[in-house]
Amino acid sequence: PQQRILLEVGWTALEHAGLPPTGLAGSDTGVFVGVSTTDYGDRLLEDLPTVEAWTGIGAATCALANRISYALDLRGPSVAVDTACSASLVAVHLACQSLLLGESSVALAGGVNLVLAPGQNVSLNAAGTLAPDGVSKSFDRDADGYGRGEGCGVLVLKRLDDAVRDGDRVLAVIIGSAVNQDGRTDGIMAPSGEAQQHVVRRACARAGITPDSVDYVEAHGTGT
């Protein structure tokens, strides 16, 4: 189901960008997808009597990106990324890097999450990360965990000069991005304020701005 939804949303994103999806065949268009759960694929592979030749690729994480590249005959990088909650943001970062390096002329970047089995819910609840009422209360003093979400989003990215040259409708400009890891903290799922400040400074430096020169909202992504 995650592969199918990505195909649908990726197609819609290209149409929204004014790019005929079938017109990119043979191009170096890249696909970068963030994902952090594989509930349906895990269930397929555990049902041994029904496993067939196509089960493996139907359950594979890599196919979340590869299926789009295959269907549209895209020849650029095709990458599925799992960095937990930040997966779709990291996918956007990697897409930007691919565009800047000239690997891709167009990039599809996004993320998908579906909750199709109870295992992750049970584990996350035991770890104390889920809100008892199942509701995220972002930026609220009553925040007590998060509610897992389902959905899919895909962006169509180009270098700004290329978009202007091609007469594309530009909705937003990404002027800088950065990725890091929290390193050793009080627990492997616990954040580090120091490390997160560091990555914000790096992103601002790459954008040519200072952290105190802008207002920003800090949040993160897939499945939350």
Residue 7 Cα to chain centre, angstroms? 14
CA gap 112, 83 in Å, rounded: 13
Q: Over the stretch 177-210, which tens digit does the pLDDT of each residue have?
A: 999 998 998 888 888 889 988 998 999 999 999 8
Residue 196 CB: number of other CB atoms within 10 A? 14
Between strands 151-157 and 107-113, the pairing is antiparallel
CA torsion 199-205-207-208 (nearest 10°) is: 160
Q: Which two tokens stand for residue 92?
A: 């956007």
Kindly state the average pLDDT of the residues 151-159: 97
Q: Domain 1-114+150-174 carries which CATH code?
A: 3.40.47.10
Domain ranges of the chain: 1-114+150-174, 119-148
Q: Which of 2, 6, 1, 3 lies closest to 153 in space, CA to CA?
A: 6
Higher pLDDT, 201 or 223: 201
Q: Over the stretch 43-96, which tens digit does the pLDDT of each residue have?
A: 999 999 999 999 999 999 999 999 999 999 999 999 999 998 889 999 999 999
Between strands 30-34 and 107-113, the pairing is parallel
